[in-house]
Structure 1
Amino acid sequence: MRVLTTLCLTLLAGHSLAASFNVEVEVPRLRVAEYHAPYVAFWIENPDRSTIVPLGLWYDDQEKWLKDIRQWWRRTGRGQSRPYDGLTGATRPPGSHSVDFAELDALKALPAGDYELVVEAAREVGGREVLRLPFSWPADQAQNQTVNGSNELGTVTLTITP
């Protein structure tokens, strides 16, 4: 019985470690007079935009700029209070950054269906940009979606493994 229990726990642990919901975001280096790292919000919507699941937020202590992430603010941000739902952290400098949202309870509780990952970026004294990456949940096979931003974001890649 002990061997069977150990085997089951090992298999379950291996399964949870194999699952991922990884988002890789490129923050481009912009040649502007006054550069500020962008605030970036991540959330999930149904294609008809009816379901909102906050995943993460990159910002600094100056919360007054959160309103510049307009879609996030209107859809979910203004209804939240600090600490914000999901994984939060500081803004990121230019370069490629990766975050895995697989362990978030909100993602684990997401019903089966088709969704879009929404990534929105806004910069103080800069522009804003919204990118959408479609995916199916739960993942029964590996999924990989990539979209290229045009100003505030570079390449954004969503990789989901079962």
Structure 2
Amino acid sequence: MLKQLIAVTSLLFASVAAHANTLTVEFELPSFTTGDYHKPYVAIWAESKAQNQTLLLWHLTKRKEDKWLVDIRRWWRKQGRYGDTPDGVTGATKGPGKYSETLDVGELSQFKLFIEVVREDGGRSLLKTPIDFSDNQERYHLNADKEIGAVTIIKGK
């Protein structure tokens, strides 16, 4: 009986995992030589015809309410103001460096991926690309912008 329960549970987890799509997003936050440097806010989200889904959000987590989230303009208009960002995708701001984040997009298979980076007393960068899990393209490359270095996106399952 226990072996059957373990087998059924394993099949259920395998079934769920088989439908979950992931993306690995590799990017760099550049270093700036300014006296008053502020770590940037970073938002990564997916927009499809059916839904918008926040995948990553780095912001000030010291306060319950972060009044500066509205500065991530596109993300705020599409997702943030509705207040349904799951806690598991949020984290504190990070300084200059290279980052690699694996993001769970669930069952989304065709969508636009957006990456928005905003820095107080700095600039704003918004990068986007269509992602389609039904095609053979495994990697996507986005050119660097003022607040973010070149981005590589790798599809996974």
Q: CA deviation at 1:76?
A: 0.9
Q: Secondary structure at the match of 1:160?
A: strand
For normalisation by structure 2, the TM-score amounts to 0.78
Counterpart amino acid of residue 33 in structure 1: G
Q: 2:100 aligns with which of 95, 98, 102?
A: 98
Pair 1:39 & 2:41 matched? yes
For the aligned residue pairs, the C-alpha RMSD in angstroms reads 3.2
For normalisation by structure 1, the TM-score amounts to 0.76
Once the two structures are superposed, residues 21-56 of structure 1 have per-residue CA deviations (whole angstroms, 9 ceiling, x without a partner) of 11112100112221111000111113xx76311111
1:158 maps to what in 2? 153
Percent identity of equivalent pairs: 35
Q: Secondary structure at the match of 2:55?
A: strand
Structure 2: unaligned runs, 5 residues or longer: none
Q: 1:109 aligns with which of 107, 110, 118?
A: 107
Once the two structures are superposed, residues 111-158 of structure 1 have per-residue CA deviations (whole angstroms, 9 ceiling, x without a partner) of x4x321100011111111100122113x57561111122211111221
Where do residues 46-65 of structure 1 align in structure 2 (5 Å cutoff)? 46=48, 51-60=51-60, 61=62, 63-65=66-68
CA contact (8 A) 2:123 2:147 kept: yes
Structure 1: unaligned runs, 5 residues or longer: none
Q: Give me the whole-angstrom Cα distance separating, in 1, the residues matched to 2:67 and 2:145.
A: 25
User: How many residues end up aligned between the 2 structures?
Assistant: 150
Where do residues 1-150 of structure 1 align in structure 2 (5 Å cutoff)? 9=10, 16=17, 20-46=22-48, 51-60=51-60, 61=62, 63-80=66-83, 84-85=85-86, 87-102=89-104, 107-110=105-108, 112=109, 114-137=110-133, 141=136, 143-150=138-145
Counterpart amino acid of residue 51 in structure 1: Q
